[in-house]
Amino acid sequence: MSYGFYYNMQRCIGCGACQIACKDKFDIQQAGPRPRRVDTFESGSFPSACTFSTSLGCNHCERPACVAACPTGAMFKDDDGLVLHDDEACIGCQSCVAACPYGAPQHLEERGIVIKCDACRVLREAGGGNPVCVDACAMRALDFGDVDELRAKYGEGLVSECVAMEDAETTEPNILIKPRPAALADACRQVFL
């Protein structure tokens, strides 16, 4: 069994509620790292231009590059397939930050360690429920659970790679994306707002 996220790009309006909920959970200031990031991309040109957003946290990969790069074992995969981080074992070298093709591990400068999405493991263990990003999404564009169950629930047309997702073959990310067609195009550009 492997856990991961489902993300419906067609429903996402790029509001950032998931990103804010995650930052609040980690008690991170506004300008700090973003364990879940909402980014905007554009494609095409007038009159056929479009924009779309991505909401990405840790993809809890089957073969996580961050785990392989961590010299202390602070980054590890648990029995449920979640990629987790042990703050006590972290020496702040940022090898995992450099290794992750998705930018999931983020350096928390004031503590001298790395943080990342843990799928709100402590919250879920305490009383079940979803990660805070899932519950914060008013458009219900996010879900979390067993990847096989998510695939069965959301059906056809799901991908694990799009414009913001590199190296899917290398790391095998546990994310299922219902993409917008433009997100599969080669000529997308990130918009910095």
In whole angstroms, give the CA distance from residue 41 to residue 132: 24
Domains of the chain, start order: 3-191 (3.30.70.20)
Work out the end-to-end distance of the chain between its first and last CA atoms, rounded to an integer number of angstroms.
38
**Mean of the per-residue pLDDT values for the chain?**
88
Instruction: Grade residue 30 by pLDDT with cuts at 50, 70 and 90.
Output: low
**DSSP 3-state helix, strand, coil percentages of the chain (rounded to 5)?**
25, 25, 50
pLDDT of 165 higher than 70: no
In whole angstroms, give the CA distance from residue 81 to residue 1: 7
In whole angstroms, give the CA distance from residue 98 to residue 117: 16
At 120-148, the pLDDT tens digits run: 987 777 777 899 999 999 999 999 999 99
Q: Give yes or no for a contact between 17 and 136, defined as CB atoms under 8 angstroms apart.
A: yes
Q: Give yes or no for a contact between 66 and 96, defined as CB atoms under 8 angstroms apart.
A: yes
At 168-182, the pLDDT tens digits run: 778 899 999 998 877
